[in-house]
C-alpha cells in the first residue's frame, strides 16, 4: 500500500490518505519505515472521504504521540463527523480551506486574508473580513479582523475579531492565550488554561466557548 508525503504551509509534513488507502496498521508500518526522514518534523495525517472509527483514531494517535522522532500535530479531514469525533477524543483536527469557505455565505466584496507563516512577537496582521493564519501566533503577536479568525496552529497571541459585528467566531488547533476579544466581548483566561480544537463564538449577543475542548496541564 502506497502513501504520499508532502510539505504544508504550516511547516509540517502531511501524510495523505483516503477511503481506499487508509489502514491503521499500514500507516504505522509506513511511518516506522520513514522515521529517519520524519525526524524532528511536525506531522499531520490527512484523511479524505473516509469516516473514521473511534478505535482507529485512538490507536493511531497513541502510536504517533509515543514516537520521539516527530511531533504529532493532529488530523486533517474533509468530513464533519471526523472532526466531531476528534473533538470528542481531544485530538487536534485541522480545517481545510474548503471547509472554512462553507462556514457562511460571504459577499463577493468581503476580504478573506490568508497568512502563510508564523506570526512572531511584534507582528500585527489586520483584515476587514475573515483572516486565516496557516501557522502559529506567538505571544506578542496581534491579529485584528472585521470577520472570523482561524489559526491552523498554536494561538498564544492577542486576537480581536468580529470588529463592529454582532456575530462571529475564533478557532484554533491549539489555544493558550491570556485574552481575546470577539464582537466587542472579552474573554480572560487563566495562565495554565490550554485548549485543543479551540472554538469561541458570539451569536444573538451571547459569547460561547466550546467546553469539551479544554485540556489542562500538558
What is the pairing mode between strands 158-161 and 71-77? unpaired
Residue 179 lies in a domain: yes
Instruction: Give the domain-ending residue among 94, 127, 159.
Output: 94
Instruction: Give the domain-ending residue among 65, 94, 123.
Output: 94
- Total tally of structural domains belonging to the chain: 2
Looking at the fold, whether 19 and 85 belong to one and the same domain comes out as: yes
Residue with cell 479568525: 149
pLDDT value of position 113 = 85
CB contact at 8 A, 209 and 169: no
Looking at the fold, whether 59 and 128 belong to one and the same domain comes out as: no
Name the residue range of residue 84's domain: 4-94
Residue 54 lies in a domain: yes
Q: Nearest to residue 197, comparing CAs of 157, 153, 162, 167? A: 153
Looking at the fold, whether 53 and 76 belong to one and the same domain comes out as: yes
CB contact at 8 A, 3 and 13: no
pLDDT value of position 157 = 96
pLDDT value of position 211 = 56
Q: Is 145 exposed, middle or buried (0-12, 13-18, 19+ CB in 10 A)?
A: buried
The C-alpha cell at 22 is 487508509
Determine the Cα–Cα distance for residues 152 and 99; give it in Å rounded to an integer: 13
Longest alpha-carbon distance in the chain: 52
pLDDT value of position 217 = 41
Per-residue pLDDT of the chain (218 residues; tens, 9 = 90+): 567 666 554 456 788 898 999 999 999 999 999 888 888 777 889 898 999 999 999 999 999 989 888 888 888 888 889 988 988 888 888 755 444 444 444 444 466 788 888 999 999 999 988 898 888 999 999 999 999 999 988 999 999 999 989 999 999 988 999 999 999 999 999 988 889 889 899 988 888 887 544 554 43
Question: CATH code at 47?
Answer: 3.30.70
Amino acid at each position: 500500500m502506497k502513501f504520499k508525503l508532502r510539505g504544508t504551509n504550516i511547516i509540517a509534513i502531511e501524510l495523505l490518505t483516503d477511503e481506499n488507502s487508509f489502514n491503521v496498521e499500514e500507516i504505522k508500518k509506513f511511518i516506522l519505515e520513514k522515521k529517519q526522514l520524519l525526524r524532528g518534523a511536525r506531522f499531520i495525517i490527512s484523511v479524505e472521504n473516509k469516516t473514521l472509527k473511534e478505535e482507529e483514531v485512538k490507536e493511531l494517535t497513541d502510536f504517533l504521540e509515543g514516537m520521539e522522532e516527530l511531533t504529532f500535530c493532529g488530523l486533517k479531514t474533509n468530513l464533519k463527523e471526523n472532526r466531531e469525533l476528534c473533538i470528542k477524543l481531544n485530538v487536534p483536527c485541522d480545517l481545510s480551506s474548503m471547509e472554512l469557505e462553507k462556514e457562511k455565505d460571504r459577499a463577493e466584496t468581503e476580504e478573506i486574508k490568508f497568512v502563510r507563516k508564523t506570526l512572531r512577537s511584534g507582528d500585527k496582521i489586520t483584515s476587514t473580513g475573515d483572516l486565516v493564519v496557516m501557522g502559529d501566533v506567538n505571544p506578542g503577536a496581534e491579529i485584528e479582523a472585521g470577520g472570523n479568525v482561524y489559526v491552523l496552529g498554536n494561538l498564544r497571541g492577542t486576537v480581536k475579531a468580529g470588529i463592529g459585528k454582532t456575530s462571529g467566531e475564533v478557532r484554533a488547533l491549539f489555544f493558550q492565550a491570556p485574552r481575546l476579544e470577539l464582537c466587542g466581548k472579552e474573554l480572560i483566561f487563566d495562565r495554565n488554561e490550554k485548549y485543543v480544537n479551540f472554538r469561541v463564538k458570539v451569536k444573538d449577543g451571547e459569547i460561547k466557548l466550546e467546553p469539551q475542548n479544554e485540556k489542562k496541564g500538558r
